[in-house]
Structure 1
Amino acid sequence: MSLSISTTSIPGDLREKLAAIAEAGFDGIELHEPDFTGYHGSAAELADRVTDLGLRINLLKPFNDLEGWTGKDRVRAFDRLERKFDLMQVLGTDLMLVGASSLEADRETTLADLTEAAERAAKHGVRLGYLALPWAGDVQTDEVALKLVEEINSPSLGLALNSYFSLADGTKPAQLRHIPGDRVFHVQLSDAPRTQGNIRGLKRHFGLLPGQGALNLAGFVKVLARSGYAGSWSVARVNEHSPRPGGRTLAQDGFRALVNLLDDVSRSDPDLTFDIPTLPSRVYTSGFEFIEFTADETSGKVLTDLLSALCFRMERQHVSKPVQLWRQGAINIVVNISKEGFAHSAFLSHGPSVCDMGLRVKDAEQTVERATLLGTPRFSQPVGSGELDIPAIRGVGGNVVHFIDEKSDLHRVWDIEFEPVAKTSATQPAGLRRIDHVAQTMRYEEMQSWLLYYISTFEMAKTPIVDVADPSGVVHSQAIESPEGEVRLNLNGAEGRRTFAASFLEDRFGAGVQHIAMLSDDIFETSELLAQNGFPRLEISPNYYDDLQAQFGLDDETTGRLRDDNILYDRHGTSEYFQIYSQPIFNGFFFEIVERRGGYAGYGARNASARLAAQMKHQRPAGMPRI
């Protein structure tokens, strides 16, 4: 078995592509012939380079429009085929992808042409993988292609399958159980969103890495593996309209996606084994243990003033560093103004920002092991006297994610590394119980990469992408959640230059946490306590409340109360959602307070435009230098 990826999935010239593919962990490639024709070197030199990188060419592709010609055109088509056989032998590959012809021909002609192609391939000691194409003249489905292959019955002609073409029209993986494994020569894995469109037109737009879409790829792999398929599993080409974060990143994402998929299949069916790294189970995370900010004295004061206005209290001080613990309910906010270590480096790179978050897990070391085997860098830095060495990995935008478990002293970090602070006055909490969700903003081209990072490492499910209208553009938002909602993350992909999200990225030079939402059991009581404490809340346009009342049929008293407190509202059936926002600090970061009633599971997407319009009033004007 081989793990491979199409060279056309990776941007750059062929030398760069091969280096990125090898570094990511693949052992094979699908060589896209246009990559070779643009390569400045001979086929023999390329074969040597591939071998030196520890790779092999599993497939040469594509050969199109072989069958259906007559006369001189048919002779020319088979002459092209012979030249490709010669090239394959120099490259050292024995398999070529033949796409079903776009020409319309009767079945006997197609059968005769494919029979001759198989006979010629046998003379050269090579094989042909025949791929049905939804836009072909006649052979548009796996079923039609299989009947041709079985009738010809040659060891040199078999099927090539692409999961996108096989499943995107609604076909269930179980419907492929009749395909004998020995008739399948090559399998390409490509995902897609759940959509009702015609897949002929959608392929250019919706070829995604496994796990990024909604196709049942695990079922697809399981059916083929059970049938006896023993060839390579390959990541098919990524569509040209998808975000492309760079060759190295795409190769790493492809490897992570493929290994994660095969790991899922082997766990659901222990009789199926694949030649992949042995991974610990996907991690269940039971909550946020802490969120850490990096700042200097000036920005730290801005942050702690806002925390005070949110009715947090400073409870503990680090035993040896200028690091404070602010707490309310089960929410731990760490403020780090140290001038050394990772936090200070993050401050120099990104300014005042979230640099670290801690997640509660069952086994911290196991969590790091799975993440690193899937290509995520481990994080470490020197540990001072009396400090704990908490397992960690790099996260979004170079930030750090630490893991806290109860198997050791990790869960006692606040007692071991921090000392209580004498209280001079009592602070009445505002009813904030825990972190509801954390929103991370990134360039749109990075968004799918971070989605894979989370869903392959943690036991989390994704929701469909929602496009949020910003006054200056569009922000793409996707939520991922742990099974019981203990950890919720919103990934926001920014496009354009002047959206509120894009401005945040520009000011902090990279992806990161843009807002933290905290859960209240009574939004109106919390709002009253915040008002008494001087909380600087975001002011929402009065027009929003006129529309809200008409939308949901709210009475005047409820609408007036929402308007007076600048509370946003949403309702799905009998479930309700309430939101209060702080004014932004640090050129785009903000806090949110939410209440969920009746099992509301969303994030108030309908309110995003009103919130963004209000936040844009606080945005640094174009051309104004950063402070």
Structure 2
Amino acid sequence: MTIPHPTHREAVPDMPNRLGIDGIEFIEYATSRPQALGQVLESMGFRPVARHRSREIVLYRQGGMNLVVNAHPDDARVSATVDGQPVISAVAFRVQDALKAQTRCMDLGAWEVPSHAKAMELHIPGIRGPGGSRFYFVDRWKEFSIYDIDFCPIPTVDPAPPALAGMTYFGLVQYIGADRSADWVSYYQNMFDFSLIPNEQRFGILPKGTLMRSPCGRFLWQLIEPDPMMDEDQAPERLQRLGLGVPDVNAAVSLLKSRGVEFVESAQLHPEDRGALTRTVLGSVSFELVHQVA
């Protein structure tokens, strides 16, 4: 099954959007192995375009997608990674007013993320997310962006590399605890005005879990409970995987394979018109391709 492109207004019913969410500004990975993760990202089409002025953080980009690799040793999320395995440590939402968005979430019970911005650096409001991650709010992404202040461009590098195979943000997969679906659905509905997608609507090749749509209609959120046979200690709640929308899954798979990307291929799961899943690398990193109508 395909999902209409999010800019098609007729495909997205009117929904409350009290934070003014308007897509994803960046996804952040925390890792103590930034070079290894960088190689993986480059094989997927991302290019390093800028470095943070005071921290060990690199900005990767392709098309309208920004990925931040955080390897700063003083960041607790980096030091908490196991064997250097990268984790999705933050998601930044584009909103109308970042401070008002944070304030509203805190009024609803969210915990504030303390700022570590140094002099002449930008403070990005945020709240705590699942598994030690963070949700940030960004209201500067058009003519003037957060990267203009905190990052230095890498010389001779194209600051706006085109998207490989037309890739865009499709959504994120979050692993949750057993019998926690109702709790997390309520959280995203109340905190961010996400809405449930009917069970009969499924996208890609991994139909498990509960699907939600952002109020702007630009991305999805998938909540997956652990297998009933799994030990709860082995199923921590966390942001697990990034979904990428492409107009032609088979063409994207062929192109990525030529760049060294491997895909899961088995009797139960293999690339097809609806979607494909890359093999997990570095112990934790995988991407899901999903057919998305242009």
- Measured after TM superposition, the shift of residue 445 of structure 1 is 3.3
**TM norm structure 1:** 0.40
Specify every segment of 5 or more residues in structure 2 that has no aligned partner in the other structure, as ranges: 1-16
Residues 168, 244 of structure 2: 8 Å contact kept: yes
- Measured after TM superposition, the shift of residue 457 of structure 1 is 1.5
Residues 243, 287 of structure 2: 8 Å contact kept: yes
Counterparts of residues 399-414 of structure 1 (less than 5 Å):
399-406=133-140, 412-414=145-147
| Distance in structure 2 (CA, Å) of the matches to 1:484 and 1:369 | 20
**1:438 and 2:172 aligned:** yes
- How much is the aligned-residue C-alpha RMSD, in angstroms? 3.2
Select which of 102, 119, 123 maps to 1:385. 119
Select which of 334, 337, 352 maps to 2:71. 337
| Distance in structure 2 (CA, Å) of the matches to 1:320 and 1:312 | 22
Query: CA 1:349–1:367 in 2, change beyond 3 Å: closer, same or farther?
Result: farther
Select which of 277, 287, 291 maps to 1:581. 277
Deviations along 1:4-34, whole A, 9 cap, x unmatched?
A: xxxxxxxxxxxxxxxxxxxxxxxxxxxxxxx
- Measured after TM superposition, the shift of residue 588 of structure 1 is 4.3
- Measured after TM superposition, the shift of residue 361 of structure 1 is 0.8
Deviations along 1:373-405, whole A, 9 cap, x unmatched?
A: 111111113211322111101112221000011
Select which of 239, 255, 274 maps to 1:529. 255
- Measured after TM superposition, the shift of residue 408 of structure 1 is 11
**1:283 and 2:19 aligned:** yes
- Measured after TM superposition, the shift of residue 345 of structure 1 is 4.6
Query: CA 1:302–1:447 in 2, change beyond 3 Å: closer, same or farther?
Result: farther
- Measured after TM superposition, the shift of residue 496 of structure 1 is 3.0
Secondary structure of the corresponding residue to residue 146 of structure 2: helix
Residue type matched to 1:531 in 2?
Answer: K
**1:370 and 2:104 aligned:** yes
Query: CA 1:525–1:407 in 2, change beyond 3 Å: closer, same or farther?
Result: closer
Select which of 357, 361, 364 maps to 2:95. 361
**1:456 and 2:152 aligned:** no
Counterparts of residues 474-493 of structure 1 (less than 5 Å):
477-493=209-225
Secondary structure of the corresponding residue to residue 494 of structure 1: coil
Deviations along 1:516-557, whole A, 9 cap, x unmatched?
A: 01112233332332122111222233x77xxxxxxxxxxxxx
Residues 476, 494 of structure 1: 8 Å contact kept: no
Deviations along 1:453-500, whole A, 9 cap, x unmatched?
A: 11102222112468x9xxxxxx961111124521311011113354xx
Stretches of 4+ aligned residues off by more than 4 angstroms: 348-351, 423-429
Query: CA 1:363–1:440 in 2, change beyond 3 Å: closer, same or farther?
Result: same
**1:568 and 2:294 aligned:** no
| Distance in structure 1 (CA, Å) of the matches to 2:141 and 2:286 | 34
| Distance in structure 2 (CA, Å) of the matches to 1:476 and 1:419 | 41
Specify every segment of 5 or more residues in structure 1 that has no aligned partner in the other structure, as ranges: 1-280, 469-474, 545-565, 570-577, 599-627
Secondary structure of the corresponding residue to residue 116 of structure 2: coil
Counterparts of residues 306-321 of structure 1 (less than 5 Å):
306-321=40-55
- Measured after TM superposition, the shift of residue 420 of structure 1 is 1.2
Greater CA drift, 307-316 or 349-358: 349-358
| Distance in structure 2 (CA, Å) of the matches to 1:422 and 1:350 | 28
Secondary structure of the corresponding residue to residue 311 of structure 1: coil
Residue type matched to 1:322 in 2?
Answer: E
Residue type matched to 1:534 in 2?
Answer: G
| Distance in structure 1 (CA, Å) of the matches to 2:226 and 2:54 | 39
Greater CA drift, 528-537 or 589-598: 589-598
Query: CA 1:397–1:350 in 2, change beyond 3 Å: closer, same or farther?
Result: farther
Secondary structure of the corresponding residue to residue 445 of structure 1: coil
Residues 140, 146 of structure 2: 8 Å contact kept: no
Residue type matched to 1:452 in 2?
Answer: S
Size of the aligned set, in residue pairs, is: 273
Secondary structure of the corresponding residue to residue 304 of structure 1: helix
- Measured after TM superposition, the shift of residue 407 of structure 1 is 9.7
Residues 356, 402 of structure 1: 8 Å contact kept: yes
Select which of 510, 513, 521 maps to 2:236. 510
Query: CA 1:423–1:540 in 2, change beyond 3 Å: closer, same or farther?
Result: farther
Residues 444, 476 of structure 1: 8 Å contact kept: no
Aligned position for 1:295: 31
Q: Percent identity?
A: 24
Residue type matched to 2:287 in 1?
Answer: F
Aligned position for 2:6: none
- Measured after TM superposition, the shift of residue 344 of structure 1 is 2.6
Secondary structure of the corresponding residue to residue 223 of structure 2: strand
Secondary structure of the corresponding residue to residue 362 of structure 1: coil
| Distance in structure 2 (CA, Å) of the matches to 1:428 and 1:413 | 20
Residues 63, 162 of structure 2: 8 Å contact kept: no
